[in-house]
Every structure is written in C-alpha cells, then in structure tokens.
Structure 1
Amino acid sequence: MLPRSTPGDLELVGPLGMTAGGCVSNTGGMLAALGAPVEVVGDAGGDELGRTLVRLLTTRGVDTDGIRLVPGRSTSYSVVVQPTGLDRSFWHHAGANAEFDGAAIDLADAGLLHLGYPQLLPALAADAGAGLHALLSRARAAGLTTSLDLAVLDPASPAAREDWPALLRKVLPLVDVLTPSTDDLRSVLGLSGDDLDAARSLVELGPAVVMVTAGSAGARLCTAGPERLAAAGAVLGDVDIPAWSDCDIRAVAPDVAVRTTVGAGDAATAGLLFGLLSGVDPTRALDVAMRTAGRALTAPAS
C-alpha cells in the first residue's frame, strides 16, 4: 500500500534500497553475471550520487572506465514505486543523461553495442534521432552487432515531441537485435490487440532479430532471412545462420514466485544477447532469455 500524501502528516514507510538500475546496470550486470566481458558507457553527474553509481556498477562485475562524471551536472535517478501485488511505476530524473549523445563512445575492440532507452536520452532522440542514427551507423561501419532496447515514452517528456514511428523506421535498419516490451511498443507506436504480433512486423522494418516481451504473457522471437542475418555484425557472424533464419518462436513466462518486476525485461535482453554470444540456436537463446528474466523476478526487492 502506498503512503498517503497529506500535508503535515508523518507516514511510516519501509526501508530504502539503492541500486544501479536501467539497462547499463541491469542488462550489463546480468551479462557479466552470465560470463560475458562488459564495459558500460554513460554520463553521470560529478556529485556524490555519481560516485556512488560507479561503486555500485563495479560490484556488478562490469568495467566502468566508460562512465564519465560530468562536473556541474546531476546524476540521473529513478524512484521505483512498487505496491504489493501491482506492477511498478517510475519517477525519473534525466540529469546528465539529457546531454548524452554517444559521440564519445570508443567502439574499438568491441563486438557488440547494446543501447537502451533512447526515449530517456533526449540528445540521442532529438532531430528525428540524428544522434542515435549516427551512433548506430558508426557501430555498423566498425563491424559491430548493434542491439537496441526501448522504454515507455512519457508523453510529457521532450522526447515525446519526436515522431517515434518515423524515427524507428529510420534507425531500425541499423539495428541487428531489438528487444522492446509490449508496454514500450504501446507507448511509442500505439499498438493494440496481441502486441506480441508486433515482433514479426518489426523484423520487416529492418532488424535481424526481434524479441518482444510481454510480462506474464511471455515473449516472442522473430528473425529475418539469411542475408540480413549475415550482415548483422561480428556476434551474429558466429551463429548458425540457417538455424536462425526466418524464425518465429514463442515462450511462456518464467514459472517463478515473483518478488519484483524491476529489471526483468533488461534481464531477458541480457539472456538473449548471451545466447547469441554463445552461438546457441534460437530456441535455446530464447530459453536463456526467459530463465535470466526469472532470476530477476525472484531477486530480493531492493
């Protein structure tokens, strides 16, 4: 139960937990836990919260050399509100993320670039996604496999001024792996009906591999044909192209006791990416994605 917000009252609440969240920590940290070498990249403020963030990320086993602490800027944070038995909601502050455009990312020696939540990175989304397009173009030119995850679009945010259907049509041909949730797609594309059906239509917009997650409804994995898969950068160059071509696979949600839904979608993305890095077949990769999401669902709520 949420506390009341009556002026002048004192309401007792539970303990406060602080974790490094978002795709940088959740997807990156879970990939590291699965055994992949991970360097995280992003901007934080030159404040105490930024220094705390770096310490928290370090405990996840990732390389934090790519985290810049920007003097004079605040660190992005989210307050996650999750009443018992209900889905979570977020109160978000963009902070230093507002000016992150990806131009300073060093792609040398990398095989995979995963980018999360462009709706929360206004400098990347501005001007019809010019910064996002430039970063993905640079990564593809360097031979990297590119991966993109979306977020729910706040209609009051600066990013909501962009034409997201047009923006995605522009950048998705540069995306090799796309892993949105149905909530993301509803907010960005206004989808209705069986939102898992969007996985196939999204492949037709250019990505090689699309996994759409839908909470308790499970997930759907669809892939493109062999020519698109063969062009999908270093990581997909190591998979069995015939086995991965023209797939359409559904998976049920993890059968676990849910303690928190925070980070489950990011964990599913990490599982899928780890499956690709490991060279397993698509059915096994989707299974790894669901099992990894299950680990997040059963984690102690912070």
Structure 2
Amino acid sequence: MHGRAVGDVLVAGHICVDLVPEFPGAARVEPGALFNVGALGIRVGGSIANTGSALAGLGVPVRAHGLVGDDALGAIARDQLSAIDGVQADLVTTRDHATSYSIVVQPRGEDRSFWHHTGANDAFDGTTLDPTGARLVHLGYPPLLPGIAADGGAPLAATLAASKEAGATTSLDLAVVDEASRAGGYDWNSILTEVLPHTDVLTPSLDDLISALRIAPRTGLADELAEDLLARGAGIVAISVGEEGLLLRAAGAERLARGGPVLRALGAEWAGARVRVDPVPVDRLGTTNGAGDAATAGLLAGLLRGAPPAAAVKLATWAAADWIESSSCSGVRIAARASGLTPWARG
C-alpha cells in the first residue's frame, strides 16, 4: 500500500497526459502530406485528473491516485496534478512502463477522437490503492486499465470490495472499449456481473455500454440498460446519453442502505428514483474532452452533500456544461456563491 487517504474522497485509476494540437480547420490524415496546425496544448488528463479537478472545482477536496512512468510525461502529470487547487497528487512511479498519453484530435466545433497509449495504466491493478479514511472511492476507466479488469474482473471486484470493507461508498466510471486493445478481448458482460454488486454508483455513457456489451443502439436502450445494471447489483446508475441528456436510476431503499456512508445518508426520495434531464446549453464550445468526467463529479458532489435526485442530476449537467466551456467547474461554484445558493440548487 502507498500512502493513506487524507480527505473524504479518493479518485483512482486512469491518468494520462493529453497532447492537444490546435486545428485551424479539418483534421486530415494523408500519407506523405504536410498539414499546418496550431499550438500544442499539454495537460494532465484521464479519469483521476478530470474527475478530481472537477470535484475540487465544486468544493470537494480529493486525493488522486494512479501510476505514471519515470519519464518527462510522468513529471508533467505529477506537476500539473499537484498544481490543481484542492487536489492532492498521490502518484506511484513505475520504471517498467512509460506514462500514458492521448493525442486528442478535436477540430474546432466538432467532437473529439483519441489516439491513446495506456502505458503505466497497464500496471494498475488496485494493489497500490489504500482506501483508509475515504468516505467515497471513485475508480475510473477500467477498459483502459487492462490489469485491473483481467481475470474476469476479479482484481476490480476485489478493489471495490476492499474499499467497501474499509467503510467507503464506491463509484465506478467506464470508458469506450476499443476492440483492438488488450481489454477489448475481455468479456465485459461477465465483468460487469462480477463487479456491480460492489459498485454503489455507476456513471457510464451510453457509448461506453454499447461498446462494452457489443450491442446496437436503439430507442429506449438507456432505460433498458439502467434497469439491467440495477438488477445486477449497482446502487445508483447515471447514464450520459449525449444530446439526449442524462438518465439517473436508483435501486430500492435496502440496496441504498448497503451503499456506504454516502448512500446511507440520502433521503427517502432516492429509493427507486428515476430522473432524466436535458443537457445544459453552452455559450461556446471549448472542449468536450473530460465533460463526462465533470458530469460524474457533479453527481458525486450532489450525493456527498445529500442533494435530492433531481438536484444532483442538475448539478451533473451544469458541471458538464461548465467544463465544455472552460475545462473546469469553477463557474458552477462561483455562480452558486454569487447567488447565495448551494451548488445543486442552481438553475
């Protein structure tokens, strides 16, 4: 074990360095050709950086735990993560792997795509994570953590179970599964069956689930999947459905009572809750990279503060919108303070 939790929330799992070239026009790939691009943005990214900084922007201090390589990108990840107000970097350096990175291809006004190297995340199997003292443990992107999702998800299930045994509420976020990757060969249907009884909060996108379960999109699929995921043992499921917004479903009172200190503290209105909200319109499109993590942070912040279901989901959508406009969630907190409202009451 490495270090001990110093705050209420521990975010762990996937971390990388995002390399983001600025595109003055369309992104093109053509052998032998030269295309002019703008300046290169270099920033720490991945689940623990995005969710952690978004939580911190919402006034929830976190400890961020993951693995990086002994290289220049690892130093950048450590320095940038440590510089985020409200985030304590707890990174383990491995000399056997390079630091993970993503080349983010996002032409102006368009959604992004990624060229991704999992790097040191290959070695993350949960054994370096110490949940002692944490009220909530959030683990992000197991499809990009092939070590923790190996063996039918046994290491992931063990990590979540150990966090619950230590007294924490558990939270899990997924990622799109690349069929060509190591994790793409895993049986994610079986993995979810293995880990969901230990998962109190699950926050995937619909695209994550479609790729993991290898199913075709169809009308009403988010509702069907939410029902199925609750039946497999999850406590709360929140599925991001892109332009259709966010769907939240909650299990019954008995399952929520087994959901650690965060879910146990929720009001009776959470039992069996179903809420669906539209996305919040944005004034400018900065980046969609990390918006899903921001939505997760908004929901978790609402849960940590005991917000009712509709208000927690509203905070999730506001956090995603703020992130898209400015790559942070400071706007939610600033607006809330200026209006004298708690963050989940905005709008």
Report the CA distance between 1:107 and its aligned residue.
Answer: 1.1
Q: Is the 8 A contact 1:47 1:73 kept in 2?
A: no
The structure 2 residue matched to 1:195, chosen from 207, 210, 221, is 221
Report the CA distance between 1:72 and its aligned residue.
Answer: 4.3
More displaced 10-residue stretch of structure 1: 292-301 or 95-104 = 292-301
**In the alignment, structure 1 residue 38 sits paired with structure 2 residue 48:** no
**In the alignment, structure 1 residue 249 sits paired with structure 2 residue 275:** yes
Amino acid at match of 1:212: I
TM-score by length of 1: 0.95
- Correspondence 1:262-281 to 2 at 5 A: 262-281=289-308
Deviations 1:133-161 (A, max 9, x none): 11011011112100000000000111122
**In the alignment, structure 1 residue 2 sits paired with structure 2 residue 27:** yes
Distance in 1 between the 2:142 and 2:327 partners?
28
Q: Is the 8 A contact 1:172 1:205 kept in 2?
A: yes
Q: Which structure 2 segments of 5+ residues have no match?
A: 1-25, 329-347
Amino acid at match of 1:87: D
Amino acid at match of 1:6: P
Q: Is the 8 A contact 1:221 1:248 kept in 2?
A: yes
The structure 2 residue matched to 1:103, chosen from 118, 122, 127, is 127
Q: CA RMSD in A?
A: 1.4
- Residue aligning to 2:107: 83
Q: Is the 8 A contact 1:196 1:219 kept in 2?
A: no
Distance in 1 between the 2:281 and 2:28 partners?
31
Deviations 1:189-243 (A, max 9, x none): 1342133212222212111110000111101000000000010012112221x11
- Residue aligning to 2:21: none
Q: Higher relative CO (CA 8 A, sep ≥ 6), structure 1 or 2?
A: 2
Report the CA distance between 1:300 and its aligned residue.
Answer: 6.0
Aligned residues: 298
Q: Is the 8 A contact 1:33 1:60 kept in 2?
A: no
- Residue aligning to 1:68: 92
- Residue aligning to 1:216: 243
Identity of counterpart residues, as a percentage?
46
Distance in 2 between the 1:178 and 1:139 partners?
15
Amino acid at match of 2:259: A
For the residue of structure 1 that corresponds to 2:148, the secondary structure is: helix
Report the CA distance between 1:96 and its aligned residue.
Answer: 0.8
For the residue of structure 2 that corresponds to 1:196, the secondary structure is: helix
Q: Is the 8 A contact 1:116 1:149 kept in 2?
A: yes
Distance in 2 between the 1:153 and 1:22 partners?
15
Distance in 2 between the 1:4 and 1:93 partners?
19
Q: Which structure 1 segments of 5+ residues have no match?
A: none
- Residue aligning to 1:116: 140
The structure 2 residue matched to 1:206, chosen from 223, 230, 233, is 233
For the residue of structure 2 that corresponds to 1:19, the secondary structure is: strand
Distance in 1 between the 2:327 and 2:137 partners?
29
- Residue aligning to 1:93: 117
- Taking a change above 3 Å as real, the CA distance of residues 87 and 195 of structure 1, as seen in their structure-2 partners, is farther
TM-score by length of 2: 0.83
Amino acid at match of 1:126: A
For the residue of structure 1 that corresponds to 2:207, the secondary structure is: helix
Distance in 2 between the 1:4 and 1:120 partners?
25
- Taking a change above 3 Å as real, the CA distance of residues 129 and 287 of structure 1, as seen in their structure-2 partners, is same
- Taking a change above 3 Å as real, the CA distance of residues 300 and 117 of structure 1, as seen in their structure-2 partners, is closer
Distance in 2 between the 1:232 and 1:140 partners?
8
Deviations 1:47-80 (A, max 9, x none): 111011011112222101x201222421001111
- Correspondence 1:102-181 to 2 at 5 A: 102-181=126-205
Distance in 2 between the 1:213 and 1:190 partners?
17
Q: Is the 8 A contact 1:25 1:60 kept in 2?
A: no
